[in-house]
Structure 1
Amino acid sequence: MSSAFMGRVARVLAGTLGAQLITIGVTLLLVRLYSPAEMGAFSVWLSFATIFAVVVTGRYELAIFSATDQAEFHAVVKLVLQIIIISSVFVALASALAGHVWPALPSVVGDYWFALAVVALGLGANKLVLSLLTYQQSFNRLGVARVSLAGCIAIAQVSAVYLVSDVSGLIYGQLFGVVAATALAAVWVGKPLVTACAATSWKTVREAAGRYINFPKYSLPADLINTVASQIPVVLLAAKFGGESAGWFALTLKIMGAPISLLAASVLDVFKEQAARDYRETGSCSSIFIKTFKLLAVLALPPFVAFWFIGEWAFGFIFGDAWAESGRYAVLMIPLFYMRFVVSPLSYTIYIAQRQNLDLVWQVTLLALTVASFTLADTVQTALWLYSLGYAIMYFIYFWMSFYCTKGDAK
């Protein structure tokens, strides 16, 4: 790996590490302030917000790294902003009306529909801002932006405990934290960029929308299906096995997801810029792909092997006996988390090669497998084992798809 690449990873990693330490720290406090059932209700609500956050950008923010010149770059940014605003209005209306037309919808979604729409808008805008900082190679600010998001949410949620009761504190804390952090990060993007985007003609915006139509055509449904596949287990567990199971599962995802966000996401921020540049200049990014794969595979193996033996004990010791079940869930899902850690950053080559149609087929298969795992199983343990094993196999296939797309003739 080049020193420049590793230096960029280190800068983003520092910010991501800070964000994860804040998240884990506040989680240690929240699990003592809220019951597993309350955490489960919040996790169900947050799952819907996370799903809607994918929709509100149309996934056009991914096209930023494929823009061929500054005029097209500014047009894409303006297009994304427009889509975020319009989509968020529809999310608000849909959330407000859904409870009346779909009785099976979790009540927490209908009760907090406005907060759901605002958080979806904020998360979508935050994705755009982080993409812009990455495009500008402002990796120091990118790291700070991640810390700001985690910090604002943590402060708001802890403070809300003393202002409102039950799950409301978690939801409104999430709302104020996301809005504050996104507004702060937007300032760092710079006024010249905002001015240039505002001055871009709508004709240029429409041309950019047409040129990168594969992102909403293929990437949006693919990423939406992927997000639904990752979030729906919480909803299905709550519906079939109760809110406590959903709460335990949510804690497992948050804690086990920390290594992925900590290093894999940091590598992704740098990998996608380097890989996209190599692909534009040489027609291939296979070299950086292989080097990044080896780095992730070697780094991930020792901690995951160790966790297999101490995971259950560690959860009970750190979070208390009420949350020991989360540790059992985590051990069952080690194959899933290891493969996700290694493969997720590398899958960005599918976007670089604009082979989103392959991704869409994979995501549909993954969603079907996820739903089957949680609806056919009679126990939580069986459901999680089927889910983990199936997910690991799917990520193995995803790796070879991504490698295929590193070559210029993949189109």
Structure 2
Amino acid sequence: MNSKRTSPHRALVRLRRSRFARNVAMVAAGTAGAQAITMAFSPVVTRIYGPEIFGLLGTFMAIVAVAIPVAGLAYPIAIVLPKDDRDALGLARLSAMLSVAVSLMIAVALWVGGDWLSVTLGAESIGGYLFLIPLAMLFAASMQIAQQWLIRKKEFGVLARSAIVQSLILNGAKTGIGWLHPLSAVLIVLATLGPALHAALLFIGARRRYGAGATEAQGTSGATLKELAHRHRDFPFYRAPQNFINAASRSMPVLMLAAFFGPAAAGFYTVGQMVMGMPSTLMGKAVQNVFYPRITEAAHNGENLHQHIVRATGALLAIGIVPFGLVMLFGPWLFSFVFGEAWAVAGEYARWLALFFLFNFINNPSVASVPVLGIQGGLLIYELFSTGGKVVGLLVGVYWFDSDVWAVALFSVIGVIAYSAMILWIFLCAKQWRKDEKTS
């Protein structure tokens, strides 16, 4: 009887002593602070700008989101993997060079064919802002490089503090400038500059933590950039296309809703997606950032990877079921109460998006495990089928039912099926990886 009473206490003690749990808590605390600031400002921001302005922002960000994954050709994600710091620093330099080159190429392409692109996507309303896309790509790549280096060094405190400061400055700017000029240009320009501010804060934090040696690497191998590019070629060949397709699938609802139902519908979806994505950003991203170096270390040590994946996935499911479940039940009322009566439709969207983002939330440990398991080619194939299914769902909702709500609902349900299949697939790959390690 006594052992039963002390078992939860022992589990709690082990959890508090767990370095993994402490790191997750640190990153989650920083992300929670950033999201709390965003939520605190949101009732004011949504009343200042309105659904149509948010629709224009959502359309712009949907295009930017598709462009960002190709900026560094996914090489920043590889920074965590090498055992040698000099190789990791080489990957950071390679990523920076590629991001500059790709951004310049996109700038030239937009200068030549920007009008055609805006007409093709039905996004003529934001055609004047397309020139900001190369800057947004470059800033986002810089932020990702800084994040991955700090994740490698396990400087999660720097990541947490930078997220809070960036959110405070950005939301303060949205509100302050919006009182004077409630224009879509304000939101679009600030969305472009946000990653640049975040990257600057990350670099400043790293410098303060390490001083002048913040970017100096210790090690003995020091491979050339060409060797590093070849060694990690699966990232541009498989992960960059997968990220691109995934971003396209997430952007498709905004673009289609804007094209078929107007900018207000895109605005409703943008806010619904923003709110439902917060728990995934809060805890899911924190777990992924901490889990990625941890699963890499576990692979180097020959540990049982599928057990790590199962435990992390189960913990996220237990955490996410309550907040997402509340939105499924009371979405329209909650959105009307928090953001104003004009946003009730966003709450209806959010009911379905809550289901989608719950499975996106618990999927983070699986995604973090992909580079370690060496299955990025398989992830690309999965993404093709997943995106195809979600696009079919959107088209059926738009053309068959002629309903924006049906389009969002079908997109979400097909996404849930796809995420479930992915989690099962990666779990089986992790078990097979364990068997292969034992026999090798």
TM-score range, shorter chain: over 0.9
Q: Per-residue deviation at 1:163? A: 5.9
Instruction: From 120, 128, 146, give the equivalent of 1:104.
Output: 120
Q: Per-residue deviation at 1:291? A: 1.3
2:260 equivalent to 1:222? no
Could you say what secondary structure the match of 2:301 adopts?
helix
1:205 matched to which residue of 2?
225
2:134 equivalent to 1:117? yes
1:53 matched to which residue of 2?
68
Give yes or no for contact 2:64–2:137 (8 Å, CA) kept in 1. yes
Give yes or no for contact 1:22–1:154 (8 Å, CA) kept in 2. yes
Instruction: From 43, 49, 53, give the equivalent of 1:34.
Output: 49
2:174 equivalent to 1:157? yes
Question: Which range is displaced more, 140-149 or 106-115?
Answer: 106-115
2:310 matched to which residue of 1?
290
Report the identity percentage. 24
- Separation (CA, whole Å) in 2 of partners of 1:305 and 1:107: 37
Give yes or no for contact 2:43–2:340 (8 Å, CA) kept in 1. no
Q: Per-residue deviation at 1:109? A: 4.4
Structure 2 matches for 1:73-84, cutoff 5 A? Answer: 73-84=88-99
1:15 matched to which residue of 2?
30
CA separation of 1:344/1:135 partners in 2, compared to 1, >3 Å: closer, same or farther?
A: same
Give the partner amino acid of 2:419.
Answer: Y
2:364 equivalent to 1:344? yes
Give the partner amino acid of 1:249.
Answer: Y
Question: Which range is displaced more, 234-243 or 161-170?
Answer: 161-170
2:9 matched to which residue of 1?
none
Could you say what secondary structure the match of 2:120 adopts?
coil
Consecutive aligned runs of 4 or more in structure 1 exceeding 4 Å deviation: 162-165
Q: Per-residue deviation at 1:47? A: 1.4
**What does the per-residue CA deviation read over 1:115-141, in whole Å, with 9 as the maximum and x for residues that have no partner?**
222122111211111111111111111
Give the partner amino acid of 1:70.
Answer: D
Instruction: From 264, 280, 289, give the equivalent of 1:244.
Output: 264
1:404 matched to which residue of 2?
428
**What does the per-residue CA deviation read over 1:7-62, in whole Å, with 9 as the maximum and x for residues that have no partner?**
11111111000111122223222211112111101111011122222111111111
- Separation (CA, whole Å) in 2 of partners of 1:163 and 1:210: 52
Could you say what secondary structure the match of 1:13 adopts?
helix
1:194 matched to which residue of 2?
215
- Separation (CA, whole Å) in 1 of partners of 2:110 and 2:40: 32
Instruction: From 262, 271, 274, give the equivalent of 1:254.
Output: 274
Unaligned runs of 5+ in 2: 1-14
Question: Higher Cα Rg: structure 1 or 2?
Answer: 2
Give yes or no for contact 2:56–2:126 (8 Å, CA) kept in 1. no
- Separation (CA, whole Å) in 1 of partners of 2:76 and 2:288: 15
Q: TM-score, normalised by structure 1?
A: 0.93
- Separation (CA, whole Å) in 2 of partners of 1:281 and 1:323: 51
Could you say what secondary structure the match of 2:374 adopts?
coil
CA separation of 1:338/1:347 partners in 2, compared to 1, >3 Å: closer, same or farther?
A: same
1:370 matched to which residue of 2?
390
Give the partner amino acid of 1:395.
Answer: Y
Give yes or no for contact 1:40–1:247 (8 Å, CA) kept in 2. yes
CA separation of 1:35/1:306 partners in 2, compared to 1, >3 Å: closer, same or farther?
A: closer
2:8 matched to which residue of 1?
none
Instruction: From 132, 136, 140, give the equivalent of 2:149.
Output: 132
1:176 matched to which residue of 2?
193
CA separation of 1:70/1:333 partners in 2, compared to 1, >3 Å: closer, same or farther?
A: closer
Give yes or no for contact 1:95–1:110 (8 Å, CA) kept in 2. no
**What is the alpha-carbon root mean square deviation over aligned residues?**
2.1
Give yes or no for contact 2:32–2:282 (8 Å, CA) kept in 1. yes
- Separation (CA, whole Å) in 2 of partners of 1:96 and 1:108: 17
- Separation (CA, whole Å) in 1 of partners of 2:199 and 2:77: 18
Give yes or no for contact 1:222–1:359 (8 Å, CA) kept in 2. yes
Q: TM-score, normalised by structure 2?
A: 0.87
- Separation (CA, whole Å) in 1 of partners of 2:412 and 2:233: 33
Question: Which range is displaced more, 177-186 or 43-52?
Answer: 177-186
Give yes or no for contact 1:349–1:403 (8 Å, CA) kept in 2. no
- Separation (CA, whole Å) in 2 of partners of 1:374 and 1:97: 31
- Separation (CA, whole Å) in 2 of partners of 1:168 and 1:71: 42
Give yes or no for contact 1:149–1:181 (8 Å, CA) kept in 2. yes
CA separation of 1:148/1:406 partners in 2, compared to 1, >3 Å: closer, same or farther?
A: farther
Question: Which range is displaced more, 212-221 or 284-293?
Answer: 284-293
Name the count of aligned residue pairs. Answer: 408
Question: Which range is displaced more, 278-287 or 208-217?
Answer: 278-287
**What does the per-residue CA deviation read over 1:182-234, in whole Å, with 9 as the maximum and x for residues that have no partner?**
2121122334243559xx98x71110000000001000001110011111210
